[in-house]
Structure 1
C-alpha cells in the first residue's frame, strides 16, 4: 500500500513515502529524533482510507540527501518546496518532536500552503515553555548534542545504545518501538549524514528561538497532541502556542502514550486527527 518516491527538491533528493490516493486531502508527516518516515507506518495505514498521506525522511536522514542547513526555517522552506513540486495545495502538515518544530515553522512562514498544522510531543524554540524545557536536567541531550565535536567523537559505534535509551526512557509503552524498528533506526542514524543532520537540528536551536515570525498572528487551526503519560501539562503548551500568535489552537492528550505518540497509540492519534480535521474542514 506504500509508494516510495524520490523527489528532487532544490537539487537534493528527498525520500517520500505515500499512502492513499489523490484527490483526497493531503497530510504531510514529519518525523523526529531518532526516527525516520517509518515512525508513521501504522498511522498512515489508518489515515490513508480518508487522506492522501505523505511521510518524508527529513534531509540527511534515510533516503533523503543532506542540505547542510538545519535551522527550522530552512527545513520548512525545503519542505514547502516539496509541497509545491508535488502540485499539492492546502496541505495539513503534522510533525512529531523535531518534525513538530518544522511544522510550526511552516505554519508561520508558509500559511498559504496549509490547511492546518498538527504538532506532536514537542516544545517549540522560543515558545513557552521553551525556557523551562531547556532548564530541565532530564532534557540533557539538548546541551550535549549542541556541544561542538564531542558527540561526533563519542556516538559512532554506540548508536543502538543511544537510540534504545530514548525509546526506553521516553516511551510509556516500551514495546511500541519493536526490535525490528529499533534496528532500522540504528542503521539510519549510523550514517555520517544522519549524525551531522541530527546534531545540526539541536545546534540550530539558539537561532531558531530568535527567528521572527513574518506576521504577529496566524489564523490557521493548530492541533497540539501530547501523550497522557508524558511529563508536562498540556495547557502550558497550548497556551504557549496561543501567546506566540496562533489564534486557533486545540489540545488533545493521547491515552496510554509517552513521547512517541504516533507509534505508542496510532489509533488514538488517528482519531484525534480525524476529529480535528473534520471540525476544521474549509467551507
Structure 2
C-alpha cells in the first residue's frame, strides 16, 4: 500500500481549510448584502418636489410597489411627528409624509401670493399623490390632517383603501372647550380676538400641546417644540397660523358631507385616539361609530400627540389592522 506523506496530508488540510473559509466568507458577504438590502427598503429619504409652483418637502420610505400610506400631520408641527412611525410602517408599506406650505421644510410663500386654507392644502397634497403616480392609498388623519385628508377622500373615494384616524375630528361633538376662543375669532374676525390664539404656538403653548394628558412628560422630547419653532419663527408665520385658525371654520359645514362619504363608501377605519387630549377630546372619536361598519376602535391613555408616548402601540395596531383588511 502506498504511504501518504505528511506533506500531502497537510496540503489537503490546507486546501480544505481555504475552501471552508472562502465559503464562510461568501456566506457572510451575501448575508451582509441581504441585510443592506433590507435596511435600504426601510430607509427614510428626504425629498422636495414642486407642486403647483411650490416646493413641497416630504419624507418617503418603503417599496413603492407596496400599498401607499399618506401621513398627514397636524398643527403646529410637520412630518417630523411621523419620524418613528414611518420607519415602523415601511417594513410592509410605501409611506409618504409631507409638510404643508409654511410648515416644516416646505416652502412658505408670502400670504399675498398664496391663500393659506385647508382647501388649498388638500389640493397640494392631492397634487403630490398625482406627481408620485400613486393611484391607491390609505390616509393617516391627525388634527389638521383630518380636514385636509377628508377633502381628498371625499373627492377621490374609490382611491382610498383605508383610514387611520388619530385625534382628527369630523363631528360637532369633537369641538369642545379648547375651541371657544377660536369660535369667537370665527364670529368676530378682529386682531383683538386673534391675539390670544398666538399663545398656542408660543414656546410654552407648544410644550403644553405635547405634554398635556401624557402619562410621563419626562418621556416627551423637547426637540419636538424646538423643531416646530423653526418654522413658526419665520417672518409672517404667526399670521399664517392665525389664517389657518380662521379658515378652520370652513371645515365645520363640511362635516355632514364627510359623514355621508363614510356611510356611503364605508372605508375600513382604525381609530387610535389619545383620550386625554384637550384639543380634540374623545367626544369626537365616538361618533365615527354611527357611520362606519368596519371600524376598529382604540382609546389610548395619552394626550394630543399620541405617537410620542404610544408610537409602538399605534404602529402595531396599524400593521395588524391593514393586514386584517388585506391591504398588503
Give the TM-score, by structure 1 length: 0.83
Correspondence for 2:32:
none
Give the structure 2 partner of residue 213 of structure 1: 257
Deviation digits for residues 56-114 of structure 1, max 9, x if unmatched?
Answer: 11222122234733443432222112111101121111021111232222222222332
Aligned equivalents of 2:281, 2:220: Cα separation in 1: 24
Contact 1:15–1:63, Cα closer than 8 Å, also in 2 = yes
Matches within 5 A, 1:124-273: 124=170, 127-130=171-174, 133-134=175-176, 136=177, 138-140=178-180, 142-143=182-183, 147-150=189-192, 151=194, 155=198, 159-211=202-254, 213=257, 217-230=264-277, 234=282, 236-243=283-290, 245-254=291-300, 256-273=301-318
The Cα offsets for residues 131-163 of structure 1, whole Å up to 9 and x where unpaired, read as xx24x2x4455347755334469849x732221
- Return the match for 1:23 from 45, 59, 65: 65
For the residues of structure 1 that align with 2:191 and 2:235, how far apart are their CA atoms? 13
Aligned length: 273
Note if contact 1:66-1:197 (Cα within 8 Å) is conserved in structure 2: no
Give the equivalent residue in structure 2 for 1:277: 322
| Partner Cα separation in structure 2 for residue 172 and residue 105 of structure 1 | 33
The equivalent of 1:123 in structure 2 is: 169
Contact 2:273 2:285 in 1 (8 A): no
Return the index of the structure with the highest Cα Rg: 2
Equivalents in 1 of 2:218, 2:61: separation in Å?
Answer: 25
When the two chains are superposed, the root-mean-square deviation of aligned CA atoms in Å is 2.9
Checking the alignment, whether the CA contact within 8 Å between 1:104 and 1:117 is kept in structure 2 is no
Distance 1:69 1:171, change over 3 A: farther
* Structure with greater helix share of residues: 2
**Which runs of 5 or more residues in structure 1 are unaligned?**
none
Stretches of structure 2 that go unaligned for 5 or more consecutive residues are 1-42
Check conservation: 1:47, 1:53, Cα contact below 8 A. yes
Distance 2:281 2:56 in 1: 35
Cα separation, 2, equivalents of 1:172 and 1:139: 24
TM-score (norm 2): 0.73
2:209–2:305 CA contact under 8 A, matched in 1: no
Query: Bigger relative contact order, structure 1 or 2, given CA contacts below 8 A and separation 6+?
Result: 1
Change (3 A) 1:154 1:273: closer
